[in-house]
């Protein structure tokens, strides 16, 4: 990017653009950080996207980064780039609330591996982002910190549980953000807020030092303004970690190189049922238009008949419920009043499953994945909606602990949970716009550890479209 092409508002640069501009000394870290802080000052009263803000510390860190660069000392590919993340990634010595009252003053003595790898690449900490209490909910409500709002329409939900990550990246308050996805928590806010979101394969990125919800299903993911930005973060975070033995070793694909590929030779599967049922008209139209775009850009599009996705969802619910209950049991028994009503109710659900049922859900995972892989033989990615509709209003999705709450939540996440059970990667890209200005994203569901293929597809889609470049306007 040449100096003349820099935008007036530096906060609107992409992650890769601002990192390159800082490295080339076209922009200082202080200028980039101040731009994010200025924009946050305008937007935050409308969004409530941050749990903590560290403006002065961020500027001081930016000055340190600038001084280092002036001496020819670059820390890494994200030198001086200001970022904020979902408030569940431990940063030693810093309060990490996990969106909860219970951990409102929790100070970890360790740093999450994912966060540490980004810090080692040179990032500046802006603060921490809003999230659903203990990452247990898909909408963005939080009784302890107040609800987070969708920047495209503040009466609507931003999606959760990485609610602040979705809202802040979409409003250009941070250049990117970490999130987590156990049942859709990266993909839902990416879809609702009109940004790029990558849920990674189970075992691709270390979960060490990230708040657990379900050890079988938890994954670290990223929310970004472009697929290229997601690739950059992946290239910094992916790989084995002795602190998380479930994290797979071996060679890591060149994610940035993957974004320069085309759709030639790529085969996209379109589900013949389940994911195409019950869609609202606008979401269905976006799916059709996306298929047309992919075909025009050279992809081969074929129908695929997938195994019963409802059974995968049910198994996913069993694992999530029981594992969350086990993590939370001591707090639930000692201080149940300190949970929000909905999260407490969902944790209680996990105590009512029989142990045998839980083990059956664990034992079926292997054959279920094998059956899925057989169904998608020859297919690089399956294209599917993230949700049957755009973001619901905060009011209509505020179901609390009502009798039908679990059914409503399961309905919102019905297209995301099967992917979690199978442990697959999934890339969400903005693909259209609905009435009320709300974005619509679609997900490309990949093969295990094939994030590079998803990034290739997504990057080419973003070269052919401009949905990811759209920015919400500041509410009056």
Partner 1 sequence: MSPSPLAPTTDDVAATARTAGLALSPETAARIAVAITPALQTFAPVTAHLPFDLDPSDFLAAQQSVGAAK
**Residues contributing to the site for partner 1 (CB under 8 A):** 201-203, 248, 310-311, 313-315, 317-318, 321, 325, 329, 332-333, 345, 348-349, 351-354, 357, 359-367, 369-370, 373-374, 377-380, 401, 403-407, 410, 423, 447-450, 453
Look up residue 260 and give its two tokens: 């320069």
Closest approach of Cβ 138 to partner 1, in Å? 15
329 is catalytic: no
Task: Name the active-site residue from 14, 28, 29, 86.
Answer: 86
Give the nearer residue to partner 1 in terms of CB position, either 74 or 267.
Answer: 267
Residue 191 CB: number of other CB atoms within 10 A? 32
354's CB contacts (< 8 A; 6+ apart) are: none
DSSP-assigned states of every residue in 357-371: HHHHHHHTHHHHHHH
Give the nearer residue to partner 1 in terms of CB position, either 181 or 380.
Answer: 380
3-class SS of residue 304? strand
Cα dihedral: 337, 342, 348, 352 (round 10): 160
Closest approach of Cβ 242 to partner 1, in Å? 18
Residue 377 CB: number of other CB atoms within 10 A? 8
CA distances from 116 to 79, 91, 293, 372 (A): 14, 8, 38, 34
Secondary structure letter of residue 224 according to DSSP: E
Closest approach of Cβ 380 to partner 1, in Å? 6
Give the nearer residue to partner 1 in terms of CB position, either 128 or 416.
Answer: 416
199's CB contacts (< 8 A; 6+ apart) are: 181, 186, 187, 219, 221, 419, 420, 425, 426, 427, 428
Give the nearer residue to partner 1 in terms of CB position, either 291 or 314.
Answer: 314
Rounded distance, CA 182 to CA 191, Å? Answer: 16
Closest approach of Cβ 448 to partner 1, in Å? 5
Give the nearer residue to partner 1 in terms of CB position, either 146 or 245.
Answer: 245
Rounded distance, CA 97 to CA 388, Å? Answer: 32
Closest approach of Cβ 110 to partner 1, in Å? 26
Task: Name the active-site residue from 163, 185, 313, 426.
Answer: 185
Give the nearer residue to partner 1 in terms of CB position, either 108 or 307.
Answer: 307
452's CB contacts (< 8 A; 6+ apart) are: 253, 254, 255, 258
185 is catalytic: yes
Closest approach of Cβ 248 to partner 1, in Å? 8
Closest approach of Cβ 426 to partner 1, in Å? 15
Rounded distance, CA 367 to CA 311, Å? Answer: 13
Task: Name the active-site residue from 161, 163, 226, 313.
Answer: 161
Rounded distance, CA 461 to CA 384, Å? Answer: 15
CB 457 within 8 A of CB 427: yes
Q: What is the three-state SS of 434-451?
A: CHHHCEEEEEEECCCCCH
Provide the annotated active-site residues. 86, 161, 185
């Amino acid at each position: 990017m040449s100096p003349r092409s820099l935008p007036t508002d530096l906060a609107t640069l992409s992650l890769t653009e601002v990192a390159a501009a800082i490295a080339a000394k076209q922009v200082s870290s202080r200028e980039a950080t101040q731009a994010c802080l200025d924009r946050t000052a305008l937007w935050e009263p409308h969004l409530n996207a941050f749990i903590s803000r560290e403006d002065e510390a961020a500027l001081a860190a930016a000055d340190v980064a600038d001084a280092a660069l002036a001496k020819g000392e670059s820390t890494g590919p994200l030198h001086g780039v200001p970022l904020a993340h979902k408030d569940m990634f431990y940063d030693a010595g810093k309060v990490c609330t996990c969106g909860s009252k219970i951990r409102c003053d929790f100070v970890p003595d360790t740093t999450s591996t994912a966060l540490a790898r980004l810090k080692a690449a040179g990032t500046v900490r802006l603060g921490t982002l809003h999230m659903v209490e203990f990452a247990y909910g898909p909408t963005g409500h939080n009784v302890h910190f107040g609800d987070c709002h969708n920047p495209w329409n503040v009466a609507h939900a931003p999606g959760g549980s990485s609610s602040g990550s979705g809202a802040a990246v979409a409003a250009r308050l941070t250049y990117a953000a970490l999130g987590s996805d156990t049942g859709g928590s990266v993909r839902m806010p990416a879809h609702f807020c009109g940004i790029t979101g990558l849920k990674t394969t189970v075992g691709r990125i270390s979960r060490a030092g990230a708040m657990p919800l379900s050890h079988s299903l938890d994954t670290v993911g990223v929310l970004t303004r472009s697929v290229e930005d997601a690739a950059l973060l992946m290239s910094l975070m992916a790989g084995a970690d002795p602190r998380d033995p479930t994290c797979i070793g071996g060679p890591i694909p060149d994610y940035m190189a993957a974004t320069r590929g085309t759709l030639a030779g790529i085969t996209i599967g379109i589900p013949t049922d389940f994911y195409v049922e019950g869609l609202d008209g606008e979401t269905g139209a976006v799916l059709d238009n996306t298929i047309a775009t992919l075909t025009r850009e050279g992809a081969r599009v074929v129908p695929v008949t997938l195994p019963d996705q409802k059974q995968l969802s049910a198994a996913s619910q069993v694992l999530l419920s029981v594992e969350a209950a086990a993590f939370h049991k001591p707090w639930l028994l000692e201080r149940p009043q300190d949970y929000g009503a909905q999260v407490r109710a969902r944790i209680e659900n996990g105590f009512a499953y029989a142990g045998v049922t839980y083990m059956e859900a664990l034992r079926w995972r292997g054959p279920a994945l094998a059956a899925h892989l057989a169904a998608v033989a020859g297919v690089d990615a399956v294209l599917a909606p993230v949700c049957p509709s755009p973001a619901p209003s905060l009011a209509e999705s505020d179901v609390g602990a009502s009798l039908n709450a679990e059914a409503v939540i399961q309905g919102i996440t019905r297209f995301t949970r099967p992917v979690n059970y199978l442990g697959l990667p999934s890339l969400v890209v903005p693909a259209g716009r609905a009435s009320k200005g709300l974005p619509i994203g679609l997900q490309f569901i990949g093969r295990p550890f094939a994030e590079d293929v998803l990034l290739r597809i997504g990057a080419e889609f973003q070269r052919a479209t401009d949905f990811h470049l759209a920015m919400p306007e500041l509410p009056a």
